[in-house]
A and B are shown apart, each in its own frame.
Chain A
Amino acid sequence: MLELLIQTIINGLFIGFLFGLAGMGLTLIFGIMKLLNFAQGPMIMLGAYGAFWVYVLLSVDPMLGILMTAIFGLILGALLYRGLLFKLVQAPALASLLVLFGVSMILENTMLNLWSPNPRSIPVDYPTFSFGLVTISGARLIVSAVAILASMLLMVTLKWTTFGRIIRATVQDRNAATLMGVDVTNVYMVGSSIGIGLTLLSGGLLALIYPFEPFGGLQYSLYSFVVVVLGTLGNPLGCLLAGLIIGLLHSFTGSYWTLNMSPAVAYLILVLTLLFRPGGLMAGRD
C-alpha cells in the first residue's frame, strides 16, 4: 500500500534525524579528541531529565527546557574536560573507555537515587496532521527541525568560520596546529563543550517524544555508535546521513518484516561497515 510506504518513510526520517543529532556530539568529540564517549547513553538521559525538570518545576514551554538543558550540556562539557577528560586525551584507548564507563555508572546510579526508576516523559500537546491514512506528528516535526538546525549550525561553523577552521586544523594535525599558534587545550575544551551540549540537546528533544529512565541510555548509545561508525567518525554530515539511513532501515524493517529484528539489522549494518568500509560513508573526504 502506498500509504504504508509513505508513512514508513516519514517515520524513518523522523527517527533518523534524532539519531543523527544524538550521534553528532559523539562524532565531534571523537573527531577532535579521539575519545569515544562511552558515557553517551546516560548523558542523553541526563539531557532528557534536564528538560523534564525545567518543564515541571518552572512550568515553562518545553522548548525552553530543551534550550536550557543544552546550555547545561555546554557548561558540563567544559567542566568535564577540565576536570577529567584532558587526562584521557593522551592516554591509551583502554584507559579512556574505562574512565568513561565509570562516569556512566556514576551518572546512571545518581540519577536513579535522585529521581527514582519510574519512566518519565514530557506530556506534550502538539497537534498531528493527517493526510488520509498518513499522519505526521507535530512533536516529531519540531524535534526533526531542531535536529536539522543544530546539525546545520555545526557544519556551517566548522566549514565557514575561523573558529571552525581552527578546530579542523587541530583535528588534522595537532602538532602543526600548535606550531601555528593554536591553543590546543582550548580547542579540546570547546570541542568537549559543544559535543556534550549536542548530546544533552538530543536528550532533551527525546524527552518530548519518548519516555526515559535512568538506565534507558544503553539502547540509544548503541544506535549512536552504529550511526557514527557508518557516518565516519569525526564527520558531522556523514553522521546525519548515517542517522537517516539507520532510521529508515529501522522503519522499513519494522514495517515490512518485524520490529523484533530491527536492532539485529542495525548491528548487521555496523558489522558490514566495519568489514567492508571501515572508514564509513565519508571516508577519504573532509
Chain B
Amino acid sequence: MSEEKISRRKYLKYAGAAVAAGAVAAAGYGISQYYKPPTPTTTTSPTVTVTTGGKRKVRIGGTKPFTGPEALPGKSEGDANKLWAKMVNEAGGIKAGDGNTYEVELVLYNDEDKPENVGRLYEKLITDDKVDFLFGPVYGPLGMATVPIVEKYQKFEIFGTCSFNPKDFRNWKYIVHTITNGPGYMPAILDMIWERVVPNDPEAKNLAITHGDDAFRQTAGSYGYEYAKQKGFNVVFYETYHSAITDFSPLLTKVKGAQPAIYMNAGVYTDAIQIIKQMRELDFNVKLLWTGTGIVFPRAYEALGKYAEDIVTCTQWEKGLIYKQDYGPTHDEFLNAFQKEYDYQPDYHAATGFQQGLVLQRAMELCDDPLNSEKMRKVAGELEMTTFYGKYKVDPVTGWQTDHKMAVVQWQNAEKVIVWPMEAGAKTLHYPIKKWSER
C-alpha cells in the first residue's frame, strides 16, 4: 500500500512539475511576444540611475493595468509613456524653465485595475521610489482613489485615460486631465450629425441612445442624452443595460421597434462589437451607428468583417488627424516612432499616454521651479498648447480638460477615415450607411 502511495506521489510530483513547466513555458512565450524588454532609460522596477554629466533627473511614477480586463488600454498607455521618456532622453532631456536639463526616469507598476493595489503602489512610488510627479491610473474610480494620497503628499498628477463626472468634483488641487472627459464623448458625434447630416436629412434628428451602467459608460451616455435633447434632437428611445451583459437581443428588439434614424450606444469593447453582431442578426438597420469606443481598434474590425463598414466612433485621437500644432513631435513622427519601437499601430490610449508626457514636458519648460508640484500644477493649469493629440487647455481650478475635443472616425474600406472635426482633415461621410443585407 505504501509502495503504491509512493509511486502515486512521484507521479503527482511529475504531473505537477509538468503542468508548471508547461504553464511557465507558455507564459514565457507569451511574454516574449507581448512584452518588450525595457529600454535603457526607462524601467518597470525602480533602479538608481547615474546622472550623466551635470544633468538632473525627474522621476515620474504611475500604475497601469497590465493584466486583467483593462489590460488593453493599460498596455497601450504604458508603452506610450515609455516611448515618450525614451524620445525625450534621446533628444537630450527636458530643458526646464530654471535653466537645467532634466533626464526622465519612468517607473510603472501593474495595478491590475484593483483599488487595493493602487493604495499600496502609490505610497511606494511617492515615498520609496521618491517620484516627483505621477501619471494617473487607467479608469475613473481608480484615479479618484489616488486623489487623497496625492493631495496629502502634494504631488502633481496627470490623468491619462481616466475621466470622471464633473458632479463629483471635490476640491482637489493637484490633478490635470489630458483627455476629453466622459461627458464630451457623445457631443462630438452629435455635433457632427447636427452639422453634416441634419441639414440634408431632418429625419436624422430621431435618435436612440443606450448605455451601460458602469462609471464611464454611464457618464458618457447620460451626458450625451442631455446634450442631445438640448441640441434639439428627438430622442425616441433611452435605456440602460448592465455592462457585463452578453446578449443584447431583448434591448435591441425594443430599440428597433422605436424606429430611430440613428442609434448611439455608449459602450466600450465587447458590448460595442456585440451590438453590431446582434443588430445584424435582428436585421435592425439605421442610417448611422455608434456602438462604443472599442470599434476604434483594428481587431474590432477583424472580428466583424464587412459589418464594421460605415460604423462611426469617437476617439481622443486617430491616425490621420492633422492638427495645426505648435508643440511636440508631429503626427507622423509619433506614428513612426511608436510603430518602430513596438511593432504595432498606436491607438488613442497610446496617444493619450504620450500626451501625458508632453504635458509634463511643456509644464517643466515653462516652470521656473520644475520639481515643485504646486508650481507645476499652476503652470499646467494655465498653459495652452496644440500637439499632435489636439488642443490642451484645462480649467485652472478643477483641472478639467476644456479644449480637447473628440474626433469622429468612420470605417471606410477597412480604413479609419476622419469625419470630424472639419478643420482637422475630415473627409466624406458615408450616410446613410449600408443595410446589413446589402453588404
Please give the residue numbers on chain A whose beta carbons come within 8 Å of chain B beta carbons, in ascending order: 1, 3-4, 7-8, 11-12, 14-15, 82-84, 87, 106, 109-110, 112-114, 116-123, 125, 128, 130, 133, 135, 137, 139-140, 209-213, 215-216, 218-220, 223, 250-255, 258-264
Contact = CB atoms under 8 A, between A and B. Distances in A.
Given A120-B299, A125-B305, A260-B213, A8 B270 contact: no
Interface string B270-293: 100110011011111000000000
Given A7-B282, A15-B249, A123 B23 contact: no
A113 B251 CA distance: 34
A110 B23 contact: yes
Nearest to B28: A113
A112 B35 CA distance: 12
Nearest to A120: B303
A8 B280 contact: no
Nearest to A263: B242
A258 B242 CA distance: 9
Contact of B253 (A4, A140, A212): A4
5 closest cross-chain pairs (CB), A and B: A254-B250, A113-B30, A123-B305, A137-B281, A121-B303
A243 B281 CA distance: 21
B101 interface: no
Given A7-B249, A120-B299, 11 more contacts: A83-B15, A109-B67, A112-B30, A113-B31, A114-B29, A123-B302, A123-B304, A128-B282, A139-B281, A254-B251, A259-B240
Interface in B27-68: 27, 29-31, 33-34, 67-68
A106 B23 contact: yes
A110 B26 contact: yes
Contacts of A213: 69, 269-270
B242 to A, nearest CB: 5
B199 interface: no
A219 to B, nearest CB: 5
Contacts of B240: 258-260
B395 interface: no
Interface of B: 12, 15, 18-19, 23, 26-27, 29-31, 33-34, 67-69, 71-72, 75, 213, 239-242, 244-251, 253-254, 256-257, 269-270, 273-274, 277-278, 280-284, 294, 297, 299-300, 302-307, 436-437
A122 B304 CA distance: 7
A119 B68 contact: no
Contact of B281 (A121, A140, A212): A140
A242 to B, nearest CB: 16
A121 B244 contact: no
A128 B304 contact: no
Contact of A211 (B12, B67, B75, B303): B303
Contacts of A1: 257
B245 A259 contact: yes
Contacts of B273: 119, 121, 211
A119 B303 contact: yes
Contact of A118 (B30, B31, B72, B257): B72
| Chain A contact surface mostly | helix
Nearest to B69: A215
A84 B280 CA distance: 43
A250 B248 CA distance: 10
Interface centre among B33, B277, B305, B306 (most CB of A within 10 A): B277
A3 B294 CA distance: 32
Contacts of A15: 247, 249
A255 B302 CA distance: 30
Q: Which of B33, B249, B283 has the most CB of A within 10 A?
A: B249
Given A123-B307, A140-B281, A113 B23 contact: no
A112 B250 contact: no
A259 B282 CA distance: 17
A236 B185 CA distance: 47
Given A83-B15, A83-B19, A219 B280 contact: no
B302 A120 contact: yes
